[in-house]
Amino acid sequence: MTRFRRMIEAAFVIGRRDFTATIFSKTFILFLVGPFFPVLFGGLFGTIAGKTAADSAAPHIAVLASPAEVGRLQAARAQLAEAIPGDQLPELRPVAPAGRPGRQVQALLTAPDPPLAVLSGGLERPLLTGSLGSDSDPARQMRWIVAAARQPAAAPLAPLAVVRAGPGAPPPAAEREKTARAGQVVLFFFTLLLAGMLLSQLIEEKSNKVIEIVAAAVPVEAMFVGKLFGMLCVSLVGIVIWVSTVVAAIFAFAPDLAPRIPVPAVGWPLFLVMGALYFVMSYLLLGAAFLGIGAHASTAREVQTMSMPVTMSQLALFALASAAVGQYDRPIGLAAALFPLSSPLTMVARAAESGVLWPHLVALAWQALWVALILLFVARLFRRSVLKSGAQRPARRWWGRREAASRA
């Protein structure tokens, strides 16, 4: 118990040192601001794309018809717009008939701001003239509009009423799957963004030649635990600031953009708590592995070389967890839940689709066990391969008998 307490105290000292050194450094401001640059550029390009789309708005079609026929066509278009977004339907612009229809059509098509086509002939003999094919979307849509406008006006009927089963009625499985995949994407994004930093945690100590002094002063396990949990606290601080900023910006400047995600099976409060717990476990699992891998790197160049395989491995884990959505009791779902590195991503999706809680308690205990096992393994491997200390097994010479026989 004394040894364990000593290790915890040493890990706390190392973690506190790394946490304070990171939080109070000038580069931490860049760390906090960094993720907002893609958002700003995305908003900038989105604004430019929106302006371009607005400039190239839905094409308009000139309608040469009487006011009564134009009104029926506009009413038919309004009905069709309830099923098809209005920006995908051509705009109908009435033009009063004047003179010969053929010459007026050609004059409209050669005007400075020509329409996509001109509808003439009224509802009795409609003729669509313009630079569009008979199977194009505007042509098909105009056929629907003309067919609806030709129908006689019916007596007004009561509109369709939609009644939900109840305020507490759960959303369908397809809707919950959206929540499950959204939770996986958020968890994967934060893990991909933050866990990779642990690859370079021991570069400073190794480059300054103080790693032997630290390893002699504290247990190697305490050094790994302290650095892992210190960076976890740094990551949590960053996540709190990022999420708070994004939520405040959405509610302040664009409240209509707040996503309407279906309620998860366990409810929002418990789902958010589970999401935080599974992020912690995912960070600890991947971080422990990355910390052990990066501990064998001697230079920053070697860390950069390791970054690509590490990123690809995280993408493979995300693909495995995504394939398990909705199939938690099948082999693919069980494999994704049992494999420790993909288990957090799989279980956070399960929390959105299933209200059963005991699998999450088992999964958290299982993941915590693997965090301890990975830390023990990487610490022992670091002690033997880098520090060249600890019990060394003599290398077996499988060719010893053959050499002895040849000498005899």
Per-residue pLDDT tens over the stretch 118-134: 888 888 888 888 888 77
Q: Tokens representing 382?
A: 């670091």
pLDDT, position 180: 92
The Cα 104–Cα 108 span in angstroms is 6
Mean pLDDT of 208-234: 83
Domain ranges across the chain? 59-150, 172-385
**pTM of the predicted model as reported, rounded to 2 decimal places:** 0.73
| Residues 137, 138, 139, 140, CA torsion sign | positive
Quick: pLDDT tens for 350-381.
Answer: 999 988 999 999 999 999 999 999 999 998 88
The Cα 188–Cα 194 span in angstroms is 10
pLDDT greater at residue 364 or residue 196: 364
In this prediction, what percent of the chain has a pLDDT beyond 90? 28
In this prediction, what percent of the chain has a pLDDT beyond 70? 84
Is the CB of residue 142 less than 8 Å from the CB of residue 119? Answer: yes
pLDDT, position 52: 61
pLDDT, position 395: 46
Lowest mean pLDDT among 56-65, 121-130, 176-185: 56-65
Quick: pLDDT tens for 281-322.
Answer: 999 999 999 988 888 877 778 888 888 888 899 999 999 999
The Cα 397–Cα 24 span in angstroms is 53
pLDDT, position 157: 58
Instruction: Give the pLDDT band of residue 398 (cuts 50, 70, 90).
Output: very low
Instruction: Give the pLDDT band of residue 169 (cuts 50, 70, 90).
Output: low
Instruction: Give the pLDDT band of residue 183 (cuts 50, 70, 90).
Output: very high
Instruction: Give the pLDDT band of residue 238 (cuts 50, 70, 90).
Output: very high
Mean pLDDT of 224-228: 91
